[in-house]
């Protein structure tokens, strides 16, 4: 990235940080409302984190860093039927990988279950909660609609003593699941459906990953969440807009329990990206049905998937900065994400050559040309001749502008170029090889001239015969101008490699709106190619990123790559016409 682009990006990111939430925090600090800003990132451990969570992570942790505060990581683990330790472990890894560190040890809503239970008893004693013995179907039916008020439960006006006994019976397992719930006593005629006596405890005879079999009743998320915030002294509880209608109950809960300095909830727009779906339920469906290889499939919008795809934490943070924080829902162009990732890779990835669709080229005058390599040394060409393997090893920088050291590239009599670099009937504007245009420069080496093409029975080009101009190693010919440069790989020294190319997992802009996700799956979301790469790439460690010259950015797969069996995933294309505003 140029200095001008760096300055423009920094200026843009700084401008984006003048959002309404930061404005509120600055005013609160100016008025000495809080001694310290405390935020939290509170995921439910019922799946892997996805792209939408990245925005929340960057906002909560970013604000705590910016205002010398702290940010807690808390697992709102109120539903043991959907939660796993695997999800918890991956959430921790994701937050750390993005470059953030939470204060103290991770917190758990389950760590507050004793206190939440005591507060539930307090609400009953205050006349603010009651045990409802209706069936789930009756509760749903009597809740009313946006046009009709709800109907009160037959148990709504039971005495405090009756409710305390029933709640104790719930706790002691005397009710089965669905036979009794504890509800907040608010207003069955409220225009806000969330205030029509919401359920705050239910019977659930399930073992919990943190508390074991201690409990057979569990608090509802909407009850546990605000009170957990209050326990931790959260000053600014930042949620996405779908929780805006839940805020009245959030405020009701902390007010009824009573806190000297209660937390306040602020809502911002969630991150919606076209061609992307972030419903954890539907993402789990993709995993469970084997549509993808797992939560970390590189096509998945999970942080684990994006990490395996080769996306960088710097690129994701830059993307979130560019998207900004507003109260207006919108859909972000996926190309902005790719732009940010590409920007982060430009000056951090070594270069290398890989031929994704190999076409054999035999250089008929190879021995004659390279026999003069000793004299070429005098012309500052850094090369060595390997007599045993008949290979000319060329030293080239790993990056044209950044000092990353050098790599050795083997040049041999037989090489591979990409099939697309030779066309029998080239389209208009084609600048590579064809029967009419026979000469081109091979990257980092000689000018090559095609003398013959070989066809198979179907009329496909399967091999080229060519010569190299022995005077052009490391310099241009003096008598003519050669247009065009193509990449190549040695046929004998190159390493066979599996390369995966990706398109969107879905072929519609809003896959979340589809009644059946199977109807919108992109059959071309994954293409696997048998490619050939230069040795310096194949020998890289898993997780190493490269720019395959003229092809794009790729990463050695974190799970399957080895020097014996290299596997590379496409990160992002080399360039795009998209320009962010």
Pick the catalytic residue: 40, 185, 280, 299?
Answer: 280
Look-up of token digits 């659930």: 204
The strand pairing partners of 354, in sequence order, are 533
N- to C-terminal Cα distance for the chain?
Answer: 17
Answer yes or no: are the C-beta atoms of 269 and 320 closer than 8 Å: no
Answer yes or no: are the C-beta atoms of 571 and 341 closer than 8 Å: yes
270 catalytic residue (yes or no): yes
Nearest to 539 by CA among 364, 386, 410, 400: 410
Distances (CA, A) of 211 to 86, 91, 204, 220: 16, 19, 13, 16
560 catalytic residue (yes or no): no
Pick the catalytic residue: 270, 357, 437, 443?
Answer: 270
Annotate 386-405 with DSSP letters as a single string.
ETTTTEEEEEEESSSSS---
Residue 374: both structure tokens together: 């000793």
Answer yes or no: are the C-beta atoms of 244 and 267 closer than 8 Å: yes
Annotate 463-510 with DSSP letters as a single string.
EEEEEEETT-TTS--SS-----EE--EETTTSEEEEEEEE--SBSSS-
What CA–CA distance (Å, rounded) separates 575 from 338?
A: 9
Annotate 114-146 with DSSP letters as a single string.
HHHHHHHHHHHHTTSEEEE-S-HHHHHHTT--S
Sheet holding 70-75, edge to edge: 38-41, 70-75, 107-108
Query: Residues 122-126: contacts with CB within 8 Å, 24+ apart?
Result: 122/257, 123/184, 123/200, 123/256, 123/257, 124/160, 124/163, 124/164, 124/167, 124/182, 125/160, 125/164, 126/256
Residue 457: both structure tokens together: 């029975």
At residue 471, what are phi and psi to the nearest 5 degrees?
-90, 0
14 catalytic residue (yes or no): no
Residues 6 or more apart whose CB falls under 8 angstroms from that of 191 comprise 146
Torsion 213-217-218-219 (CA) sign: negative
Distances (CA, A) of 217 to 15, 38, 125, 387, 513: 47, 30, 19, 77, 34
Distances (CA, A) of 42 to 176, 210, 388: 30, 16, 62
Nearest to 132 by CA among 207, 226, 200: 200
Query: Is 417 in a helix, a strand, or coil?
Result: strand
What's the gap between Cα 355 and its chain centre?
27
What CA–CA distance (Å, rounded) separates 359 from 320?
A: 42
- Give the DSSP letter of residue 327: S
What are the residue ranges of helices labelled H in 126-220?
136-141, 160-171
What are the residue ranges of helices labelled H in 17-75?
20-30, 51-66
Residue 393: both structure tokens together: 């090893």
Answer yes or no: are the C-beta atoms of 448 and 438 closer than 8 Å: no
The residues carrying an active-site annotation are 44, 270, 280
């Amino acid at each position: 990235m140029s200095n001008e682009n760096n300055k423009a990006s920094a200026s843009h990111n700084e401008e984006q940080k003048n959002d309404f939430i930061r404005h509120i925090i600055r005013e609160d600090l100016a008025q000495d409302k809080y001694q310290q800003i405390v935020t939290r990132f509170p995921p439910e451990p019922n799946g892997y984190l996805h792209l939408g969570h990245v925005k929340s992570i960057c906002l909560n942790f970013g604000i705590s860093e910016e205002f010398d505060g702290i940010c807690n990581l808390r697992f709102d683990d109120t539903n043991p039927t959907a939660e796993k330790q695997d999800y918890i472990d991956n959430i921790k890894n994701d937050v750390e990988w993005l470059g953030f560190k939470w204060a103290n040890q991770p917190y758990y809503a389950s760590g507050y279950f004793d206190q939440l239970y005591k507060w539930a008893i307090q609400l009953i004693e205050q006349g603010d909660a009651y045990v409802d013995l209706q069936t789930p179907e009756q509760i749903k039916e009597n809740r009313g609609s946006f046009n009709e008020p709800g109907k009160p439960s037959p148990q709504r006006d039971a005495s405090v003593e009756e409710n305390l006994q029933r709640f104790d019976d719930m706790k002691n397992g005397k009710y089965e699941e669905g036979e009794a719930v504890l509800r907040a006593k608010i207003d069955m005629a409220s225009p806000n459906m969330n205030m029509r006596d919401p359920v705050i405890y239910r019977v659930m005879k399930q073992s919990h990953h943190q508390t074991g079999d201690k409990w057979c009743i569990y608090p509802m998320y909407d009850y546990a969440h605000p009170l957990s915030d209050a326990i931790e002294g959260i000053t600014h509880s930042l949620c996405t807009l779908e929780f805006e209608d839940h805020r009245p109950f959030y405020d009701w809960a902390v007010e009824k329990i009573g806190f000297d300095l209660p937390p306040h909830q602020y809502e911002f727009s969630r991150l919606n990206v076209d061609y992307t779906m972030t419903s954890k339920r539907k993402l789990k469906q993709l995993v469970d049905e084997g549509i993808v290889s797992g939560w970390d499939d590189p096509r998945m919008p999970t942080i684990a998937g994006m990490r395996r795809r080769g996306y960088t934490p710097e690129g994701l943070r830059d993307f979130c900065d560019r998207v900004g924080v507003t109260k207006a829902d919108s859909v972000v162009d996926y190309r902005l994400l790719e732009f940010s990732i590409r920007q982060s890779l430009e000056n951090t990835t070594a270069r290398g050559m890989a031929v994704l669709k190999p076409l054999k080229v035999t250089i008929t005058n190879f021995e004659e040309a390279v026999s003069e390599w000793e004299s070429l040394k005098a012309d500052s060409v850094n090369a060595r001749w390997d007599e045993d393997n008949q290979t000319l090893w060329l030293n080239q920088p790993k990056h044209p502008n950044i000092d990353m050291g050098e790599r050795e590239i083997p040049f041999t009599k037989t090489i591979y170029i990409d099939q697309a670099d030779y066309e029998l009937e080239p389209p208009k504007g084609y600048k590579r090889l064809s029967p009419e245009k026979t000469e081109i420069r091979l990257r980092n080496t000689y000018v090559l001239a095609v003398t013959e093409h070989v066809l198979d029975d179907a009329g496909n080009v399967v091999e080229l015969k060519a010569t190299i101009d022995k005077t052009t190693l490391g310099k241009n010919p003096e008598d003519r101008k050669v247009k065009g440069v193509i990449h190549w790989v040695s046929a004998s020294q190159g390493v066979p490699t599996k390369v995966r190319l990706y398109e969107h997992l879905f072929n519609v802009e809003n896959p979340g709106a589809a009644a059946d996700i199977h109807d919108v799956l992109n059959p071309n979301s994954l293409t696997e190619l048998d490619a050939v790469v230069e040795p310096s790439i194949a020998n890289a460690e898993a997780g190493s990123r490269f720019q395959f010259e003229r092809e794009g950015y790729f990463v050695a797969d974190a799970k399957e790559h080895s020097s014996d069996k290299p596997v590379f995933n496409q990160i992002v294309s080399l360039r795009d016409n998209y320009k962010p505003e």
